[in-house]
Amino acid sequence: MANSSNSSRDLRLPDFIGVGPGRTGTTWLHEVLKGRVNLPAGIKETDFFTTNYNKGIEWYAHHFRDADRIRPIGEINPYFGFPEAAERIAIHIPRCKIICSFRSPVERIYSAYKLWRHYTLTNDPLDKFLVKVPQVIEVSRYATHLPDYRARFGDDRVLVLLNDDLRADPQGYLDRVCDFVGIERYPVPASVGEGELINSINDLPRFPRVARRARKFMYWLEEKQAYGASNFLEQAGAWRLVFGGGPKFPPLDPVIEEHLHELMSPEIDALEQMIGRDLSAWKRPRVKSGTAAHVASLQER
């Protein structure tokens, strides 16, 4: 049964949180868990333990007001790499289970950059962008931040997942999640388990000025908690229309790619030791055939 009083107050709070980081399969995980666990009402990411913390724990708990007392309560929100988030989760939900999903850091960094460009949050080339927004690299330092979660919640309450495993065996990946959060195993839904691209970013907006206005409107709707309107526009394809349709993103520049591999190599070496996995594939560019390229873009987020 879900833990209905997981903090010092009688509030409905998550039994588990998938902290990401983003661009590692978090949207895929959210989609496959729909209907199997209690998720936030109307929105995927509340961002409570980072940008919305000043709104108070009652504001956060209100997102789980409709949660039943049978299925676990959870949220999939990329808090990884923000130490204040780990601390705040531990304060309010000390026995929370944590899911960390990791992906080749170089792939993740470029995917995050494409997301920023897609939503007109930056127009800088990648090298300048990474100087201005170092957090994109910081949240890719898995070996730096994983020990904090393990220390706060215990090794048995921190599940580490690799995006490589999601690509290779979605069902096995989901089975591990089910066992961890305490629900019965079930087949991966066909809509998300057969190569469908979930939140994959491939192109720039056709009309950047319109996209910038749309982004501000989208954020305004979320600020007002008008989740129904925002979800309707998403399902109707409005966001996809205004934020896409422009030039396609080119492959990552080989010079920058090599630099990022050198930069992240110590982190990858350290993570190998922490989780006992061979991550040598992360230390060099991934070779993609036409079919492999399609699979590699699976679950961009």
Task: Point out the residues of the chain with pLDDT beneath 70.
Answer: 1-9, 193-199, 286-301
CA-based diameter of the chain, in Å?
54
Question: What's the confidence (pLDDT) of residue 237?
Answer: 78
Which CATH class name applies to 16-113+139-197+286-296? alpha beta
Distance of CA 249 to the CA centre of its chain: 21
Question: What's the confidence (pLDDT) of residue 245?
Answer: 81
Contacts (Cβ under 8 Å, ≥6 apart) of 126: 110, 113, 252, 253, 256
| pTM for this prediction | 0.86
Six-digit token string for 94: 């000390």
Phi, psi dihedrals of residue 113, rounded to the nearest 5°: -60, -45
Angle, in degrees to the nearest 10, between helices 83-92 and 142-153: 10
CB-count exposure of residue 157 (10 Å: 0-12, 13-18, 19+): middle
Q: What is the per-residue burial (b if ≥16 Cβ within 10 Å, else e) of 129-148?
A: bbeebeebbebbbbbbbbee
